[in-house]
Structures are given as structure tokens and as C-alpha cells.
Structure 1
């Protein structure tokens, strides 16, 4: 194995998903000598991502939002419909961003557009060196981490940021333990064309097998996340386009009119993951390296981008005070800052998903009562909307609107 060069980067990020690329861009933009190590960026991903307001603010900070905005569709309203057909059913609830004086809760765009814009920005970013390579092993020392790549020379860094996904080698090399779980569900995702306008409204049907969610895209198109059993997923994937369009229109109760299939269906078994620690020796975990849960409520990537924003603030503060950015005290502050948000979101998404799968009457009553109160009690509804955007949003809503957070 070749010897490591004398150069020591401030930060090396491994993994070039949206969280990893955003982290690398943020660190470089505030003056850290940064390297990004990952295979070629996936610019063919047909799925979509709903970016909530805090994520938009972060993309504004790193200078990519203007390029992303033309591909994004506002999510002005979020509607939840109980389609479980059980004895106890919740009322329909619509959350309107206008109640918070916001243009939208967030914006939906295709992952391939998001990845392409981030990759182009990374190519142009000063202080950021790109290594299109695969990190295969790590040596965690007292003063630096050595990152050994498949094809290139090893890299040294004061801080390693792992964004290499749920099967992270960096996390495993640091000996960080995990809690994993799975669900008897599969998410089928695809894009649809439809006759009626979506009016910038995301609609989530709660069904006995999980959420069936239509999220607006430009024009009369929407992305779909349909959570079903594994058997149902296989049936859906083998349908002809015409039969599939009719099946999905029936599941959507024709609220958007006639459907047309705009992309091939993809399927993903649902599972969850939570790292028992977000940090290791000169190591910080972000995104799906730290937490994974079902695609409910647009929480997954947005939670990961809040990891990035938190880590960026804390590292900048540590540097400005002359501290070692890889020191245990600095990383402990990141762990403390993020743990509550991650735990709360993981629990809430898991509980909502499991509440759809159970026939236990008290659970059905509790879920229905919660949605009933959200519909009938405006202060509670506004609180839920603020917390859905990000924890502590009541204190930050004005700052989000003014782009100063």
C-alpha cells in the first residue's frame, strides 16, 4: 500500500449522495480545505426528494438554490387522508403553509437534477478536491485519519465525515454499533402524469399497507411513493403501463383524474437504522450513515441536511476559537446537538408507520384522535406544521423567511 502524502486535509467527506456533496460544499465554502471521495455521482436516479425550508436555506448558503429552483415545485399544502377503511378512521387534514406565512413548506424535485446541480457546483468550488474513487479502509490515529482508496494514494485528514450510506465502511471501521429493524413493506416509486392540476398540494393516503403519497412535480405531473406488501410490489412491477395507471388511479380515488405512467417503477424494501453514536475517533456520521427510516413526511434527506448544517456551524465555531475540529469535545457537541432531533423523528415516523399496520383498536383511536385535534385546533396544527419543517421552527420561522438563519 502506498505511503500517505504529507498533506493533511481539514476534512475528508466519503460518499457523494446529496448529504455528502452538500457537506463537502458547505465545509469548503466556509474555508476548510476539503476533499470528497466517492465513485461517480448518480445522475440517473429517477426518484424525487421533497426539500423542506431549512434545506432550501442551506442550499442558498452554499450557492446552489438558484440553479435548483427551476427544477423544483412548491409544496404549498399537505393533505392527509385516512384510507384504512377500518372501524375508527381519522378525518381528512390539510396543512397550509400560508398559516405560517410561508410560500411553501418546501419544494419537490427529481434526484437526478439535485445530484447534477450539486456535482457541477462541487467541480467549481474552491477549497474542494474531488477524488472519484472508493474508500476501502481507514486508520484512525490520535492526530489524523488516513483514508485508503481503491485506486489512488491514501489521504490524511483532521476530520473524517462519513456519508457513505447505510452500509458504511467508515462507520464499521470505527466500531460504531447499530440498531437495525425492518418492516413487512416495500416502497414502489415512480412518476405520473395526470389530467387534473395538483395545485401544489401533496396528498398522503394512509392505507392498511402504509402511505400512498402523491407529491407535485412541474406541470401536471407528480411523484408517487406507494407502500405495499412485497407480494403487491411484485404484482405492480409486472403490470402493463395501462393496467398500472388504472390501478394507481383507483388507489388515488381519481383525485388527480386519469393517470399516465411517466417512469418505470422501482421498489425498495423498508427498513430502519440508527447508529448508537454519531461520532467516533475524528469521525462524524451524517445522513443515512447515521439514520434510516421509511419515506414518510419528507423527513429522510431533510434530517440528513440538518446534520450537515449543525456540523458546519459547530466546526466553524471551533475553528474560530482555535480548537481542533477533530477533537472529542467538538464532536461531542455535534452528538448532543443532533441526538434529540434524530431520536424524535425516528420514533415519530416509526410509530406512524406501525400505527397503519396494526389492527389494535386503541392505537387506531390514538392516531385518529391526534389527527382530529390537528384538524380542529389551529394552534396545535400550526405547532405540528412548524415542527414538521424542523424542530424549534417557531423560533426560526421569521429567519427562514428572511434567509438569515
Structure 2
């Protein structure tokens, strides 16, 4: 591949990089995907919200994912902080704002596998499994790979994760902050049906969330203290299932462990800039959020949708796809969305950890108002789904407004 030239080179073959490469190639851009095959790890899931499903539908992989995905028709919040200002549980229903579902929960391994299969079959898309060793620019962007190959492109999209080599080579700096929490994840089977409801218990150590999968299965994201996460990792299957059932107040009945376990320290990462000369960052190369509120992958796919819109507009206007003006628009758009959602996730998490009466009261009053005032609740639901930029030609929320299993 020495000296090969493309319009766009995408670095990173995770879900965000794969989706980007597919979308660019289908938009008629000569595209190269650079990165090793994705690891098909089990045990973690992604709750894909409406705009993400729109993008996946438009790049024609949603039919393969739909049957393996669990709809999120109800979002339930239960205050389990022990606060004196504890409000009653609050439920948000998708049909209240005219949607079939808020989104769909799918195992990461299935998502990555279907994207990779589609990328291998996509015309106009070349996949190099080499690792990138360097990045530089002149009239074009140049990638040097560790196997000795070189790739030139009008634009490089760095989707190579939070430890992005391309971002580092471009001199874009990062700011990171760690929380004294970890997220424990696994998949469970349960005695009672979940009713397509995602239930989030707000606890004093962070959110405990059960998200529906097909059948009587749910994925678990348990944000807790690191030492507790370590105990959960080392517990027997029986003890772990009992601990989850107790934390869920037996909402779904008897539990059994049905997937591998994982734990991730909670942290955030932001970047000094989303773009550079002939470079755009996407996914965790651009932003890292705690696994709260299903924002991480959805923000990455929103990056992809915004880039596709920018690139197709540039081509239609006869403008270089790596031109500074288009990249500046992308940066402004994504910085605003990511900043808003970062503040919301951080604020929720900190409010649970504070243990301060006025904050507990404010949170309790807020949930009570959402539960009791329909117009306010509906406005909040629409705002929560409005993030991101739909793929060109796709109306926001379309994927969850009609049947996604046809």
C-alpha cells in the first residue's frame, strides 16, 4: 500500500471507525480504513439512541442488528440514595413523545462483528490492518504505518481511541480527570420479563442500571466504589447474581449470570481541539465520558454523522474535503454537543456522591417535578434524544419511530 492515496483515511477499526469508513465510502468518497480487526469481546453492550440507529440504518447494517437488539421503550429512575428527600420512581415512556423506543440495546461484540463484515464487503473501501506509527501534513495528510506502508489522504479521521497515536502525533493535547468509582458490567438472565424497560437506580455510590436485551436478559452497568467492583469481579456466579437481585430490589426476580464480567475505572477526557490541519478527531479520540446515560458510543456516532454531512457538502460545493472551513464547522458543532452532555453526566454523578442535603433536596424535587408534570417530562425526553446530527437524508428519531425489525 506504499504511497496509496485516498480522499479520506479513517484510523481505528472500532465501532466508530468502522461506521465512519462505511458511511464515507457509501457517500462516494475513496476511503481507507486503517487498523487491526476489532476485538470481539463479550459482556458489554451499547444502548443506541435514535440518531445512532438512524445512521446505522442508513449505512444498511441495522437490519442485521435489529433482531439482536432489545428496545428501550421505558426509562425508569428509582432513587435509592436513602435521602430524606426521596421522590417516587419516575418513568419515561417513548410512546409519550410518539416514538416506538428511545433506542436499542445491543451487545458490543455483535455490533463490531456486523460492522466489520460490512466493511470488508463495501466497494470503494480499502482496509489496511496495519498499525499507524506517524502522522504529518503538507498539501495532503500522510500516515506512516509500522509495516512500512504509507497512506496519503485529503483528510484523516482519527477514531483510534482515547490513547490515539494520530492525535498525539498531531500535537493535540488532552485533559483527563478520574473519579473514585468503577463501572462493573455483565449480562444476566432473570425470572421476570423486563417489559422493554431500562431501570436506573440512583445510589450513593453511582447509578446501578439494568438495560433490556432480547428475551429475559438484561445488561448491567453498576457504577460503584473500586473495592466493591473488585469484590463483584471475584464473587461466585451465585453470589454475584444474588447481589444484583438484592440491589435491584428483586424487580426482575431471580437472577443468573449469563455473560462475562468487566470493570472500568471511571474517568473523563477532553481535547484541546477537535481538528488540526487535514485532521478530525472522532469517538474516544475526541472525548471520553463515564458510562452513564448511554452517551459514549452515541456521541461517537454523532461525530460520524456530522463528518459525513460536512464532507458530502464540501464535495457538492467542489471544496477540498480536508479544507479548514469545513473542519472548523465540524469542531464547533461537536464541541457544543459534547460539552453539554459532559456537564450533564458529570452533574448527575456528582449529585449522587455529594451526600449534601440541599443537593439531595434539589435532585428529589427535580425528579418529582418530572414525574408529575407531563409537558416538562416530555420536553426533557425530547432534549435527551436531540443530541447528535442525523445522517444526511435521515430525519432525526426516524429509526425508533417505526418498526425497526422489518
CA offsets 1:218-276 (integer angstroms, 9 cap, x no match): 11110000111111111111111111111111011000000001122211000001112
Give the corresponding residue for 1:39: 36
Q: Find runs of 4+ consecutive structure 1 residues off by over 6 angstroms.
A: none
1:104 paired residue among 96, 101, 115: 101
Mapping for residues 1-400 of structure 1, pairs under 5 Å: 4-5=2-3, 7-141=4-138, 143-391=139-387
Looking at structure 2, the residues matched to 391 and 243 of structure 1 have their Cα atoms a distance apart, in angstroms, of 39
> Secondary structure at 1:337's aligned position in 2?
helix
Looking at structure 1, the residues matched to 127 and 136 of structure 2 have their Cα atoms a distance apart, in angstroms, of 20
User: Which ranges of structure 2 fall in alignment gaps of 5 or more residues?
Assistant: 390-394
Looking at structure 2, the residues matched to 22 and 268 of structure 1 have their Cα atoms a distance apart, in angstroms, of 24
8 Å CA contact retained: 2:53, 2:62: yes
8 Å CA contact retained: 2:12, 2:34: yes
8 Å CA contact retained: 2:190, 2:217: yes
Looking at structure 2, the residues matched to 229 and 402 of structure 1 have their Cα atoms a distance apart, in angstroms, of 40
Which range moved further: 118-127 or 173-182? 173-182
The two structures have a TM-score, normalised by structure 2, of 0.95
8 Å CA contact retained: 2:99, 2:402: no
8 Å CA contact retained: 2:42, 2:259: no
Which range moved further: 145-154 or 201-210? 145-154
RMSD over equivalenced CA pairs, Å: 1.7
How many residues align? The count is 398
CA offsets 1:115-156 (integer angstroms, 9 cap, x no match): 010000001111100011111111122x11111111141111
8 Å CA contact retained: 1:12, 1:34: yes
> Secondary structure at 2:321's aligned position in 1?
coil
> Secondary structure at 1:292's aligned position in 2?
coil
Looking at structure 1, the residues matched to 241 and 93 of structure 2 have their Cα atoms a distance apart, in angstroms, of 29
Shift of the alpha carbon at 1:387?
Answer: 1.5
Shift of the alpha carbon at 1:45?
Answer: 3.4
8 Å CA contact retained: 2:207, 2:223: yes
Looking at structure 1, the residues matched to 387 and 151 of structure 2 have their Cα atoms a distance apart, in angstroms, of 36
User: Which ranges of structure 1 fall in alignment gaps of 5 or more residues?
Assistant: none
8 Å CA contact retained: 2:54, 2:396: no
The two structures have a TM-score, normalised by structure 1, of 0.95
Q: 1:398 to 1:137 in 2, by over 3 A?
A: closer
